[in-house]
Structure 1
Amino acid sequence: MKKIYVLDTNVLLHDPLAMFSFEENEVVIPSVVLEEIDSKKRLADEIGRNARFVSRELDRMRGQGHLHAGIALPSGGLLKVEMNHRRFVRVQELFGEMTNDNRILAVALNYHMEELEHGEAGRPVILVSKDVLVRVKADVLGIKAEDYLSDRTVTPSDQYTGHVTLRVHPSVIDEFYNFRFLSVRQLGISSGLHPNEFVILRDELGTSKSALLKVSPDGQRLEPLHLSNDPVWGITARNAQQRMALELLLSDDIPLVTLTGRAGTGKTLLTLAAGLIKVEDEHKYKKLLIARPVVPMGKDIGYLPGEKEEKLRPWMQPIYDNLEFLFNTKKSGDLDKILMGLGSIQVEALTYIRGRSIPGQFIIIDEAQNLSRHEVKTIVSRVGEQSKIVLLGDPEQIDHPYLDAQSNGLTYLVERFREESISGHVTLEKGERSRLAQLAAERL
């Protein structure tokens, strides 16, 4: 049976193509949504871009007929702009002031009541919103409500971690140490392993015998890690996942690396250490460029007082803290002198690297879980020749109002590139900041 989907403003501002994502069903956009989109179209951030895109799409579709009567969608569905709020009295009685959210609820309620009049022939009416409280209000009114799920890449249990543990006969581990490689077929796995994925082999008989391997770029062989566990700019890997991360970070053949994990797992520190080695010691790259979103919603920093460096400092302080540790500075101001003397380390707000072509640089994007799919595409597509880009983040700590652990740009990037030989990913699991920090991440 076909359905009627009523869209909240936040769905279109999150995914401007959402109106085309409901197959052969009817899609309804309340007129108040157009007003809210119009109020956002002048913003310079991702929300403003999406608002302008939606406006242009609706204007284009207007050429095919009257929006209030319905425009046929490529999927076989119908798109309508609805102005009918005549059920607003009941909504106002329950929730008080007639806000824009409540007007959207009134439109959904109106459709719901009309379809109930048709009895069994009536179509289900579903309100789609990224706003939890709007969905709760819809439930109070007896309207079915759903989150917008079309943008979700994968369920949490299926998220790619970049490593897998396999239990094998001890003879398989012995063969690896003797010949320094294994074929994927020897493990009895016809599929499931990805290029540059890490494999931990453990003895199925229960002994302590084990091995850490990496899948070759062609996905056919299991090879030993190329790097020893020697310190990198004074930092030594403390667990298996950190060794995996350093293997990817220091490999010149992998230009795209993604690292995820909770706070305290060492993502930023390991990446900065690897970047310093590559830029300052090996001179593989001309510059180390470090960037992060200045605020969760991607707003500019122009309203903050002071010069650019003074504005950036509060947002970039976690980066400076790690650099102070790596350079072992003792006094306030020592780090600024070091950075000024080196000249090859640049700390920027993400706002300032958009639109640039960035060749020959080691690029670090911190807090990437707060980026949308479009923003991640914009950033990664700017990477020039002979550059390496590393994106870091914790998908469980998202501040963006319309993103979650499954729909953010970092998770999207990990899943889309898991089969590519030029990329690698590791999810860091064990906190190494302190025992207190590890317990806080697990229990709070």
Structure 2
Amino acid sequence: MTKLDISKSIIFLGLAEHIQLDGHPYPIGPVSIFNLSRQKNHFVFPVSGRAYNWVFLFHEELFEQPEKAGFFIEIKTEDGQPFGNIKIEPYCQPTSNQNKPEIKQQIKEVASIPHDLLIPKGFGWIIVNCHQIDGLIKNPANFIISASFQGQEEVIGSVNFLYQKVLPYTSEQMKAIEADPLSAKSVRIEIGCKNCPAKLRAYSQFNRSKTLEDDGFVWQYDLCEEFNCDCGQTTQPLIYLRESMHGLLGKGTKTISSKLDYLRRYAHSEIVKTVNSFNLLLDAERDEKPFQLFLEKNPVMLARFHAKKLFIKPNILGKFETDFAILDSMNQLLLIELERPMALFKKDGHPRAGLIHAYSQVRDWLHEYSKHPGAVLEGINIKPDEVMAVKGVVIAGRASKENAKHLQRHLAQPFYNDIEFLTLEDLSLSLLQISHDLA
């Protein structure tokens, strides 16, 4: 029997946030792996091992000889403390498929339901995804991954969990989060001990809540240094939650524990109510100011721009004032001119004076930026390395009140490539579409 060379038979690829198999497992069917890496940044701890898919490559030789069956993958801290393990039990079972030999393997994970995969011989490597690692990562740490077989143990990789501190949110960042219909209004977490009833419950939101605190929750900024249970079996540093728990309110939130609870900022009924109020305003008002005030109060109407920072009436070098400015998720700075629901086109399809004036204002802003980019960004309070491009946006009029052909031609042949045009009704329609998942 040939000795098994573990280092050449098992490869630890890393941790993935999501894996999607289309029908049959890889290599027969396609596989999509999202955010695979051996280093994961977190702004809060503890982190659950179940939050990730632990992805390995196994060579088919592992399943060719029954006498090689049964080996372990072990996950330990750098100082040798066990974190989790996975038991692999392959076996060989020839079958027939168009006269091609196949190997059937059974893969068992700790605390998981075994599943069968059919892998034709000759493909070389197969992907194995393990997602039942129950341990909690209490601190930033490096974990060593090793495989063992019949007393032989070899390191096959490592994974590093790093701490990324989140600075306190600025008012512009808070407005941007309020503009996201899928954002969290409140995040709550419970930390406890399996051996005694001791528990700590903490919460984060923009403003502290007397109701939650009366119910036993601690605001993140009031957390102490460490949680210690009554029986002495469980400790958890709390500095990471105290410093950065508010980061879970923003975009890209990820479940870190089964004890984590998100309260959405908006229910679908609230979004519908806001949109209906805006549409009533379109029918009732002819001036710009009521629409400016409505969007300031309800920044979620600007959801289509995917804001990271949202500025209200920012000044441009003391010469101009935009209605809004948004730094979006693509690091584009959008300078927005909001107009009233005015008529946009003449009978011949040419733009009316009000629409031409709106474009002219945005052109003035962009021209000023082209001359003094650093000074403009400094005045808005944005760092130059945050911005990849600067564009303009004009929001004006109502599609339902315009000749469809005139509007379509205007959209197809814009005045300027660096200025986007939207109608006020587009804000309502896009918000309803984005918030569809809330229903």
Which band: TM-score by shorter chain?
A: under 0.3
Instruction: Report which structure shows greater RCO (CA 8 Å, sep ≥6).
Output: 1
Q: Greater CA radius of gyration, 1 or 2? A: 2
Q: TM-score, normalised by structure 2?
A: 0.26
Structure with higher strand content: 2
Structure with higher helix content: 1
Q: TM-score, normalised by structure 1?
A: 0.25
